[in-house]
Structure formats: C-alpha cells, structure tokens
Structure 1
Amino acid sequence: MFALTSIRHKLLFYYTLLYALSLSVGFATVYVIIRDSLQNNIESELQNTTTAVYNLVQTAATVSIKNYLRGVGEKNVEIIDALYQKSRQGRQTDAEAREKAAEVLLSQTIGESGYIYCLDSNGIVVVHPQQSLLGTDVSGYSFVKDVLAKKKGYLEYDWKNPGEEVARPKALYMIHFEPWDWIIAISSYRAEFKDLVNVDDFKESVLDLKFGRTGYAFVVNSEGKAIIHPKLEGINILAVEGLPNEYLAEIIRRKNGRMVYPWQNPGEAKPRQKLCIFNSIQEYDWVVGAASYHDEFYQPLRTIGTLVLATFLATMFLVLSLSLKISNSITTPLQKLMDHFNRAGKGDFSLRMAVTSTDEIGRLARFFNRFMEQLGQYHSDLKQQMQVRQDAENSLRQSEQRYRSVMASAADPIITYDMEGRVTYFNPAFQQVFGWSLTECLGRKMDHFVPPENWPETSVMINAIKEGRVLSATETKRLTRTGEIRHVSISGAVLRDHNQQLVGSVVILRDITETKMLTKQLMDIGDNVRQTIGQDLHDDLCPHLIGIGGLSSALHATLKENGSEGAALAERIVELIDDATTKARGLSRGLCPVHLVAYGLHSALTHLAEHTEMTAGIRCTFTGDESLKITDNALATHLYYIVQEAVNNAVKHAGASSIDISLGEEDEYLHLLIGDDGHGIDEDIDEQGGKGMGMQIMKYRVQVIGAFLDLVSSREEGTTLHIFMKKSEMTHHEQ
C-alpha cells in the first residue's frame, strides 16, 4: 500500500504517527501514574481510617475497663484501710483484720471469671481464691515483674489458663497497701468487659470520618447489626431486603482485608462500585471498616483525562499543519528533480537544477548538476568502452574457438574439471579411449574410472592441483567404460580466473598401454637374451676355461719337473685362467641366476642372501612363504633383480650391517620387503650425473610388472623398500 503512496503523504503519515504515539505514550504514562497514585492514596487513607476506628474502640474500651477496675480497687482499699485502723485501735488483732480483708476480697467476682488477689513486694501470694497458691513465689512471671515494679496502675497482658490452647488478653489494676505491704490486683479477661464499652464515647468521632463525597466508616457485629453507621445504625443489615447484604456477610466472614463490591444505599437510584478496607476487634466480635465509591475516587482522574484529550487534539492539529508544511518543502523540489530525471532518461544530459538554498535540498540540486555532468562524460566513455569490449569479446571468441579446435584435434585424452572435481569438458580422444560421452559425464565426478588400488597416487595428484601446483607426468591406471584397464601417463595444471583464483584444472591422460606392453616385451626379450648369454657362459665358456686350466696345470707341472725357466710363466697362466673362470661364473650367475631358473624365486633369494653374507661379511636373511608360488619366470626375474639391486645399494652405498628380505601374501596382495639398518639413501640425488640409476631401474621394473613401490628411508632407522601388487596382476603376467 505504501509503495504507491507519495512522499508527501508518507511524511504526513509518519510525522503524525510519531507524534500520536509519543503523545499517547506520554499521556498514558501520566494517566497511569496519577491513577495508581490516587488509588494508593485512597486505599492508604481507608486503611488508616480503619486503623483509627479500631484504635478508637480499643482506647474507649481500655479507658472504661481501667476506670472500672480502678474504682473496684479504690473501694477495696478503703475497706482494708478501715479494718487496719480497727486493729490499730485494739478493737481486733492484726491477724483478724487481715483475715477479714481477705474474705472481703475473695468474695468479689470481677466480670465473669475475674477475681482479686494480693502479693507482697517479693512476689509471694498472700491472698488468692486458690488456697494452694498461698505462699507461692510467682515473681518469675513477666507480668508479675511489671506489677512488682509499678505497684500501682493499669496493666494488660496475655494469659493462658491450664487446658486452654490460645492465650487471651487480660486487664489488671493494682494498688499498694503499704501498711501490710499488700499489692492488691484486680484482674479479668478484657472480653468480659465488653458491656462496659459505651459506643457514644466514640460514635461521633467515627461518623465524622469522610472519604470523597459520601464515603464513611462503620462498625458492625458478627450478626450483621450496624453498631455505628451513618444511615443504618441499630439495624441488622443482613436481614434487610433489597440490600446487597451478601457482600457484608463476606466481610464479616473474612474479618480482615479489602473488597470491591456494588452497593446501593437506601434512597439511591442504582448501585455503585465500592471499595472497603476492614478489620476485626475480636474481643467484642466487631468488624470496623472504611468504605468509599470508585466514581468519587476517580473524579479528579476523569477531569485530567478530559484535559489530556483536549490537549492531544489541539497538539495533533498543530502537528498536522506543521507536517504538511515540512512535506511540501521537501516534495516540491523532489518533484522537479523527478521531472529532470525523466527527461534525462530520454537522453538529454544538459538539464540542470536551480540552486536556491544551502540546505539539503540545495546540496541535492548541486549533486544533481554534478551528476548530470559526470553522466554526460560517462555516456561518452561508455560508448568507447563498449566498442573496446565488443572487440575483446570477438578476440576471446576466436581464441576459445582455437582452444576448442586444439583440444578436439589433440591425440591424447584431455579433460577439464572444476575445483570440486566435476567434469566441465573433455575432448573426443577421451571418449575414443575410455568410452564415455561428454553428455553423460558433464557436471559429474569421474571417480568410477579410477581403480581402487590406484587411489593413493591419484589422491597425491588431486592435492597437488588443489595447492595450485603443476602436475608432472605420473604413470598410473584408469578404467574404460567396459572395465578394461588402461595404463596412462597423467600430467596437468590448474586453471585460474582473472583474479588468479583457482577455478579448475586441465589434465592430459596419455595412453601408454601399448608402450608399456612393448617395453615389457623388450625387457622380457632382454632378460631372455641375458639368460641365454648367462647360460652359454655357464655351460660352454666355463667348462672350456676349466679344460684350458687343467692343461695349463699339466704344462706347469712338466716344465717344473724339467727345471725349465717357463714354469713360472705357466704358473701365472694357470692363475689367470682360474681368475677368468671365476669371473665367467660370476657373469653367468648375474645374467642368469641358476637357482632362479632351476628352483624358483624362493631358492634364488635364499642363495642371494647366503652369497651376500659370504662376500660382504654382513648379516643377510630371507624369509618367504613357501605356499606362495610364482610360476611366471618374467615376473620372478623382475622381482629377483629388484631385490638384487636393493641389496647392492644397501651394501655399497648405505653401509648396512644387517639386511632382511621377506616375501609373502596378505589378503589380495603380494608383499616383498627389503630392509636394512644403514644410513639411508637420498631420493633426490642427481640422476643426470649418473647417480641413482639403480633406483630408477627398480622403479621402472615395478611399473612394468604393475606393482607399487613404497620407500621409507632415514639416517637413524635405515631404509625399507616395500613392493606390493595385486594377485590378479600375477595372473595377468602368466596369461
């Protein structure tokens, strides 16, 4: 709704709403404060009045009781004094006077259950209706202490007789008869003196209490009879018909508290809400209360409300006028500015606003003029930039077409990913090699064409891409759509946007399956030729040299017997022929291990360990699983030469004193481990200088047989070479 409203009306609405809310909150706060203050003051006044009436009744009762008891006490003192005077005159003994005085005192009843008793100044009972208490020391009671201290006067205290559950208020008046040191105490319960209370003593004082215009105080007894009331005095209100006397019955029942109820006095047209604060005087079974009407309480509040409403309406009129004037001062220039913008939108950038003030409207006009100047300049610049951008887009389009052409014409599979590993493009060569089409792979990950055993090196390549590094050529395997394994050499690099942020990667997967097969065939042919040469050296050359050696030995013996000078030369010939025979056997063993051909890999590795111990003078052991049979001679040959190269490195370069070789299987894998305690090797040695050639040959043999190599080396713990391959690769080699 407000989206279609003009700014003038919005300003008018919001200003008015703001002022209305502010005034409403302020006036409401004042109203509530005044209302609560009035209510608290009224209730406080009623409560104070109830307390005052209660105190009036209590005071009147106390005065009446005190006067009554004092009169009784003074009369009895006169009687005792007359008896005392007779004893002094000798008309009777002192004991007889005391006995007659006690009879007079005990013959009197105060109220219904009160009596007169006497104590001496030490708190010893000398006269009491209960003979068992005579001579008893009662000075320990708190009220007795007050009696002994005052000896004359009025005293009130609470007392509970044996068998009673609650203590009751009791009144006592005492007079000291000094000749006998008697403290004469006249006492009884206050409730027994209620007939002594004269309502006329305080009625006028109660009726003079007014609250508001018609509020008053009243006293009723438990039967509903009005003891003091401005209109219903002496009438049992509960029995009067036409009065809402059920509320008075509730007041009498509750004894203490406050109540709001409707009440209609005789002569009034309708009931009005009334607030009553009441309390009880239990001694007389009375309820005193102070009551007044709500409409009389809140009459000042209604007057204030009327004034507040009038002030609110007058203020709102002024606010509306002021808001309208303010909104016009803002919206009129804005309307002109909108008209200028509308014309500028049609291409007229020469428009300017007149600056007539220095306030916000004037500054806005200056900003508009400056904006129009810049807009004209931007319009001119934008045309030039658009032309430049169009030229750049054309060049980019041509460059992308060339890039796509290069990708499409490349012989190697090329694939691009985003940083989440989802395919964004691959060339036709990828589909030709692996069988998947771009449509079914676009936007998806290609995890399914990575064999499970090739995930370790794949994870390393993924991390290199994520770190923004160039991915050097790495040989691994990938699956085609039909499940065929292809050997690939993977290289790649990251793709960056114009802010040099990583946005993806481009990966080249060169298919080297046929190359690997040809390489393996060449190595197998080389191994076969080597074995043939070794076999020829062992079976042909070595026996020939042994024969020559035998003839040379015979010639040496003949020359020596004849004492010929050629005997020494013949002996030298025999030594050279023996050295040649030993070297020929060594070459034969290196080119074609006899135990590998005749007895298999386990026997060849055992012989290699024993030969190393004998020639190198160090500990070298082999542990093999006899149940593991490797029937493929090419695979066994590769494994043998890997172990031989690792042992030679440990002896010649690592300075090892102990070498352990083990061959076994676990789950679906074959494991070959060569460990030594040497000072380790450096994997980053300079291969171009000829160093590390043996390690490169080992790695190459591992790749040829489709295995994996894990090298761990340190100067403290030596070197461990771990070669592992799936058993399925062994079957593949046999086939």
Structure 2
Amino acid sequence: MGKTLEKDRIVEMFGAIIEAAKGNYSCRIGLSGNNDALDSLAMGFNMMIDDVRNSIREIEMQRNYMDNVITSMPDALFVVSPEGIIQTVNNAACTLLDYEEQNGNIQLLNRAAGEYTPGNIIGTSVYDYVSGNGHNTLQEAIEKVFRTGEPVSYEVLGAGLLGPDAALYETRLGPVVLGGKVAAATIIFSDITQHRRLEKEILEISSREQCRIGQDLHDGICQLLIGITLMSKLIEEKLDAESSSLARDVKAVTELIEQAIEQVHGLSKGLLPVPEKAEGLVTALKELARNTEEMYGVSCPFKCDGDIRVQDKTIATHLYRIVQEAVNNAIKHGNAEQVSITLAAHNNGITLAVENDGLDFPELSGTVEGLGLNIMEYRAREIGASLDVGRKSSGGTIVKCTIRKKSTE
C-alpha cells in the first residue's frame, strides 16, 4: 500500500513538473504530512513555483510601467530593426503620421478613423513614411547607429514624414543593445518649433537691448561727457589766465573725463561692433583681432581673401558674434597662444574660420556646458549658415562657418 502511494506521489510530481515546463505556474504538489524526502521535494518545487510566479508578476508590472511610459511620451517614438522595420511605436508616433495633404494643405486626419495605429504600423518599414532627402538622411543615421553603436541626432523640417512642413523636429537615434550587440534602434522625433522660436525671441530681445544701450551710450552719455570736457577746458583756460593754482586740478579732471569718454566709446563699440556699411564686417573683425592681441597678449592675425562685402547688417552681426565667441573660447577655455581669423570668399559664398593651438573645444570634451556652442549654432541656423567645430590634426580647434552668397547680398 505504501509503495503505491509513493508511486502516485511521484507521478503527481512529474505531472506538475511537465505543467510548469509548459508555462503553467499555477500547479502545486500536495504534501503527505510524512515529512519524508518526497515532501521535501514537493516543498522545494512549490517554493520554486512561487518564486517564478512572483518574478513573472514583477516583470509584468515593469513591462506595463514601461508601456505606459512609452505610450504617454509626448515625443514620437519608433523602434526599428537594422532593415528599418518598425517593431514598436507610441501614440505620439501615430499622431505624427496622421497627416495628409489635401489641396496643397497639410491637415490632421480624423483620429477616430484610426488611419494609423500601432497595430497597422508595426511590421511596416519606417522608410515608407519618409520622402525626399529625409529618406536618405534617416537611412544613413540608422545604418550609423547599427554600425557604430553610437547615438545620432539632427534637425529636420517636417521630420521628413507626413507631419506638418512648418514644424521643426529634432531627430534622435540611439542603440538598443542586447548581448553586446545592437539589436534595434530607437528613433525619437521631438517638435522643437516653439523652443527655437523662444530662442530666437530671446536673442533678438538681447540684440535689440544691446543696440539700444550702445546707441544711448554714444548719443547720450558720450555727448554729455564731451560737453563737460569742453566746459572744463574753458574753466581751465580762465584759471590759467588768472595764474590760479586750481588750473592744474581742473586739467586733471578734464583728463579723467576724456578717459571716461574713451571707455564709454569702447563699451558702445562692443555693443554695436559692426559699422553700418557693406565692408563693416571686415572692419569689425580687424578690430577684434587687434583688441584680442592687446588685451590677452596672444597672437591673433586676421586674413581676408578678396573684397568681401556683407550688405545685410543682421547677418554681419551674427557672423561677428560667432567669431567673437570662438576667439573667447580659445583663449579662456583652450589656453591658446595663437588664434587666427580667416575670412574667405568662394563661388558659393563666404567662409569664416577661427583656428587655435589650444586645448580641444570645451563643449566637445564635455568639460563645460555647451551654452557658447549652442548660441553659435543658433546664430548660424538663423542666417542659413553651416557651423562645423572640430579638432585639428596638429592639435587645437577649428571653428568654421560657411554661408551661401545669396544670403549675404
């Protein structure tokens, strides 16, 4: 009788193990109460099943949490394979794709119609939703992520998708690494239109205030100080004619006022660096190079190839500020002893280059915040120019800004 019971218990155990192997983790093995070896095995099996159930519950909770995070993201998210096949999308991605062109106008489709849902997007190619140059750019970015395992980012108007053309998107791609290999790539489209608009407004407000203050200094305080200087010289002449000992003191005051005028002129010129003429940029860069040598004791030659004229004052000012920021970074952060400024004309436009022999550009090395680089990039975008910052093979940094000829006219 005892052997039959043991056999039945062993059969029960094997049955439970088979069910667990099939994924049925609700099975349990009953205990006989004999506290024998079979009961110990049964208790161990039941504890293992409880641990598995708890682990599965935690995994499900984490999965639901991540699903909710992805679903609620305000930015459009795609997860793609090396071939560009979409594996995961979120609601924002569906909304981004829910645009169509009607009579030349981009319109949002009726979401109730469910034109695009995760169900009918997953399994399709991301390239099916990208047209024109956007297709090549995205393909190159995806291939680079899988080839190097490094993130890629760029900005594009309308995301190259069916989204509204007026929207500016930052496109960020990153690797999904499994087992030491890039198994998938994430693509995030962030609408930065409002962000860029605010950047522009802040910079424009700053520029307007600089111009206003510079003009006020030149037309107001400078003229007032010049008037005081003339009055002081008249008093000095009268006292000198009377052989008064005060004449020397008044002369000293006059000299101090003249020094103040020079300082105010310098402040005014710093706020309004580019003169109101076509060759104003060249003049301003020459003075920047000269002042840099005098103030910091470094070599800062300026070279201009050709007769370069920039008619647009806004473009000239942005170009000047880009060079000024690059020079300041080279000296203050790069410890450069040699900084050169080159302005060159070519068939398609002009190129400004600032080279130095100092340390690598701080923003590239991550040693300081990239505010200066961000502002330079914004200024370049604002005037339709391209900005490249890189390391020189011989050491140091080169900042190059290129703008097409049509923009400078």
* TM-score in terms of structure 1 length: 0.41
SS in 1 for 2:227: helix
1:527, distance to aligned residue in structure 2 (A): 0.8
Q: Describe the shift of the 1:586–1:495 C-alpha distance in structure 2 as closer, same or farther (beyond 3 A).
A: same
- The answer to whether 1:481 aligns with 2:162 is yes
1:696, distance to aligned residue in structure 2 (A): 4.6
Gaps of 5+ in 1: 1-349, 351-372
1:621 alignment partner AA:
K
1:270-323, CA deviations, whole angstroms, 9 ceiling, x for partnerless residues? xxxxxxxxxxxxxxxxxxxxxxxxxxxxxxxxxxxxxxxxxxxxxxxxxxxxxx
1:520, distance to aligned residue in structure 2 (A): 0.5
Matches within 5 A, 1:722-733: 722-724=400-402
1:193-243, CA deviations, whole angstroms, 9 ceiling, x for partnerless residues? xxxxxxxxxxxxxxxxxxxxxxxxxxxxxxxxxxxxxxxxxxxxxxxxxxx
- The answer to whether 1:654 aligns with 2:336 is yes
1:569 maps to 249
1:712 maps to 390
Query: How far apart, in 1, do the equivalents of 2:66 and 2:336 lie?
Result: 51
Q: Describe the shift of the 1:467–1:657 C-alpha distance in structure 2 as closer, same or farther (beyond 3 A).
A: closer
2:302 maps to 620
2:283 maps to 607
Matches within 5 A, 1:191-340: none
Q: 504, 521, 527: which is aligned to 2:201?
A: 521
8 Å CA contact 1:417–1:504 kept in 2: the answer is yes
Query: How far apart, in 2, do the equivalents of 1:553 and 1:698 lie?
Result: 46
2:19 maps to 383
1:505 maps to 185
Q: Describe the shift of the 1:381–1:508 C-alpha distance in structure 2 as closer, same or farther (beyond 3 A).
A: same
1:522, distance to aligned residue in structure 2 (A): 1.9
2:401 alignment partner AA:
I
2:212 maps to 532
Query: How far apart, in 2, do the equivalents of 1:484 and 1:524 lie?
Result: 24
Matches within 5 A, 1:430-469: 430-435=93-98, 437=116, 439=120, 442-446=123-127, 449=130, 452=133, 459=140, 463-464=144-145, 466-469=147-150
Query: How far apart, in 2, do the equivalents of 1:465 and 1:725 lie?
Result: 33
2:176 alignment partner AA:
L
Q: Describe the shift of the 1:549–1:464 C-alpha distance in structure 2 as closer, same or farther (beyond 3 A).
A: farther
8 Å CA contact 2:173–2:188 kept in 1: the answer is yes
Query: How far apart, in 2, do the equivalents of 1:724 and 1:716 lie?
Result: 22
2:338 alignment partner AA:
A
8 Å CA contact 1:661–1:673 kept in 2: the answer is yes
1:580 maps to 260
1:328-367, CA deviations, whole angstroms, 9 ceiling, x for partnerless residues? xxxxxxxxxxxxxxxxxxxxxx8xxxxxxxxxxxxxxxxx
1:383 alignment partner AA:
E
Q: Describe the shift of the 1:453–1:574 C-alpha distance in structure 2 as closer, same or farther (beyond 3 A).
A: farther
Q: Describe the shift of the 1:480–1:693 C-alpha distance in structure 2 as closer, same or farther (beyond 3 A).
A: closer
8 Å CA contact 2:210–2:272 kept in 1: the answer is yes
Query: How far apart, in 2, do the equivalents of 1:555 and 1:384 lie?
Result: 108
8 Å CA contact 2:338–2:356 kept in 1: the answer is yes
1:541 maps to 221
1:366 maps to none
1:656 alignment partner AA:
Q
1:444, distance to aligned residue in structure 2 (A): 0.7
Matches within 5 A, 1:341-380: 378-380=14-16
8 Å CA contact 1:413–1:433 kept in 2: the answer is yes
Query: How far apart, in 2, do the equivalents of 1:382 and 1:704 lie?
Result: 68
8 Å CA contact 1:419–1:466 kept in 2: the answer is no
1:523, distance to aligned residue in structure 2 (A): 0.9
8 Å CA contact 1:674–1:722 kept in 2: the answer is yes
1:285 maps to none
2:83 maps to 420
1:478-514, CA deviations, whole angstroms, 9 ceiling, x for partnerless residues? 22416715333444543355x5653213333221111
1:342 maps to none
1:721 alignment partner AA:
V
> Of the two, which has the highest radius of gyration?
1
1:549, distance to aligned residue in structure 2 (A): 1.6
- The answer to whether 1:591 aligns with 2:271 is yes
Matches within 5 A, 1:64-213: none
Gaps of 5+ in 2: 1-6, 27-51, 100-115, 295-299
Q: Describe the shift of the 1:404–1:557 C-alpha distance in structure 2 as closer, same or farther (beyond 3 A).
A: same
Q: Describe the shift of the 1:397–1:646 C-alpha distance in structure 2 as closer, same or farther (beyond 3 A).
A: closer
1:555-576, CA deviations, whole angstroms, 9 ceiling, x for partnerless residues? 2333333333333332222222
Q: Describe the shift of the 1:410–1:448 C-alpha distance in structure 2 as closer, same or farther (beyond 3 A).
A: closer
Query: How far apart, in 2, do the equivalents of 1:454 and 1:637 lie?
Result: 35
8 Å CA contact 2:131–2:160 kept in 1: the answer is yes
8 Å CA contact 1:468–1:502 kept in 2: the answer is yes
1:447, distance to aligned residue in structure 2 (A): 8.3
Query: How far apart, in 1, do the equivalents of 2:261 and 2:130 lie?
Result: 55
* TM-score in terms of structure 2 length: 0.68
Q: Describe the shift of the 1:611–1:416 C-alpha distance in structure 2 as closer, same or farther (beyond 3 A).
A: same
Query: How far apart, in 2, do the equivalents of 1:575 and 1:452 lie?
Result: 64
Query: How far apart, in 1, do the equivalents of 2:79 and 2:86 lie?
Result: 6
2:176 maps to 495
8 Å CA contact 1:678–1:719 kept in 2: the answer is yes
SS in 1 for 2:190: strand
SS in 2 for 1:687: coil
1:397, distance to aligned residue in structure 2 (A): 5.6
Aligned Cα root-mean-square deviation (Å): 4.1
Q: Describe the shift of the 1:552–1:443 C-alpha distance in structure 2 as closer, same or farther (beyond 3 A).
A: same
8 Å CA contact 1:673–1:720 kept in 2: the answer is no
8 Å CA contact 1:625–1:664 kept in 2: the answer is no
1:699 maps to 377
Query: How far apart, in 2, do the equivalents of 1:715 and 1:634 lie?
Result: 34
1:582, distance to aligned residue in structure 2 (A): 1.4
Query: How far apart, in 2, do the equivalents of 1:672 and 1:696 lie?
Result: 19
Q: Describe the shift of the 1:608–1:564 C-alpha distance in structure 2 as closer, same or farther (beyond 3 A).
A: same
1:380, distance to aligned residue in structure 2 (A): 3.7
1:462, distance to aligned residue in structure 2 (A): 5.4
Query: How far apart, in 1, do the equivalents of 2:404 and 2:136 lie?
Result: 14
1:548, distance to aligned residue in structure 2 (A): 1.3
Query: How far apart, in 1, do the equivalents of 2:241 and 2:128 lie?
Result: 84
SS in 2 for 1:411: coil
1:678, distance to aligned residue in structure 2 (A): 3.6
2:303 alignment partner AA:
T
Query: How far apart, in 1, do the equivalents of 2:283 and 2:177 lie?
Result: 57
1:446 alignment partner AA:
Y
Query: How far apart, in 2, do the equivalents of 1:694 and 1:501 lie?
Result: 36
8 Å CA contact 1:654–1:681 kept in 2: the answer is no
Q: Describe the shift of the 1:659–1:457 C-alpha distance in structure 2 as closer, same or farther (beyond 3 A).
A: farther
1:711-731, CA deviations, whole angstroms, 9 ceiling, x for partnerless residues? 233383654322235789x59
1:657-696, CA deviations, whole angstroms, 9 ceiling, x for partnerless residues? 6432225552xxx5522144644543326215xxx76445
1:415, distance to aligned residue in structure 2 (A): 1.5
2:324 maps to 644
